[in-house]
Structure 1
Amino acid sequence: MSEHTYKFNVKMTCGGCSGAVTRALQKTEGVDSFDVSLEKQEVVVNTGLPYETVLERIKKTGKEVISGETVV
């Protein structure tokens, strides 16, 4: 499986929001590492999973994904 880095701009207003995204990604098999930044409103994910799969996992938390891109 090839390795990808995805960056998402996610609307998070509090620690609970970033915590929900963190928990969702921790439970996602195939996610190698990730960084959730409440200050930057940004989620960076390193994974072999397809972009759409990661996007759906974040959206399932109920947080609004404003934009997303493949970095690598």
Structure 2
Amino acid sequence: MGALDFLSDYFDISRPRKKRKAMQTVEIKVKMDCDGCERRVRNAVSHMKGAKSVEVNRKQSKVSVTGYVEPKKVLKRVQRTGKKAEFWPYVPYNLVAYPYAAQAYDKKAPSGYVRNVVQALPSPNAPDEKFTTLFSDENTNSCSVM
């Protein structure tokens, strides 16, 4: 009976299982002036449970953490180092329809990036967007004459 009791502990369905966090990449904007700031932020984040890799780009003021971590916990850990931190507010320039819209263009943004704001995205009901995508090469339902 000892072996069956041992196996029943592993297959017990009454006990809830812990959900595993999803693998994700968290990007945070942190102002870092020197090697000491960079080292302090890197050490704080790399010792987190679930963090697989940490990339620090001091020129862009960006920290990327990949692993089984929660974004809010990573942000709190970086803020505990004494640095002002926020989630990465920028998107690549080529993904935005209107990069020079109000509040989208930011002089402090790294090259090739603009701020992620609602005004920079096209409205789905805009007629000019519908006409430009209607006869696109990527549209498989477009006119066969093209």
The normalised TM-score by structure 2 is: 0.44
Please tell me whether Structure 1 or Structure 2 has the larger radius of gyration of its CA atoms: 2
Q: Which has the higher strand share?
A: 1
In structure 2, distance between residues paired with 1:42 and 1:34: 11
Percent of aligned pairs sharing the same letter: 29
1:24 shift after superposition:
0.5
Gaps of 5+ in 2: 1-20, 89-146
Whole-angstrom CA distance in 1 between matches of 2:35 and 2:47: 18
Runs (4 or more) in structure 1 with deviation over 2 Å come to none
The number of residues matched between the two structures is 68
Aligned-residue CA RMSD in angstroms? 1.1
Alignment of 1:4 onto 2:28: no
| Counterparts of 1:52 and 1:9, CA distance in 2 | 13
1:45-69 deviations in Å (ceiling 9; x for gaps)? 102111111111111111111x314
Question: Which position in structure 2 is the counterpart of 1:68?
Answer: 87
Which fold has the larger relative contact order, with Cα–Cα distance below 8 Å and residues 6 or more apart in sequence?
Answer: 1
Give the Cα separation in 2 of the matches to 1:7 and 1:25: 12
Counterpart secondary structure, 1:45: strand
The aligned amino acid for 1:9 is K
* Of 25-34 and 51-60, the range deviating more from structure 2: 25-34
Say which of 75, 78, 95 aligns to 1:58. 78
1:26 maps to a residue whose letter is S
Give the whole-Å Cα distance in 2 for the aligned partners of 1:59 and 1:20. Answer: 11
Offset, 1:14:
0.7
Q: Which amino acid is the alignment partner of residue 84 of structure 2?
A: E
Q: Following TM superposition, by how much is the alpha carbon of 1:19 offset from its aligned partner in structure 2, in angstroms?
A: 0.6
Give 1:34 shift.
1.0
Structure 2 counterpart of 1:31, from 41, 46, 51: 51
Once residues 26 and 43 of structure 1 are traced to their aligned partners in structure 2, the CA distance between those partners, rounded to angstroms, is: 11
TM-score calculated relative to the size of structure 1:
0.85
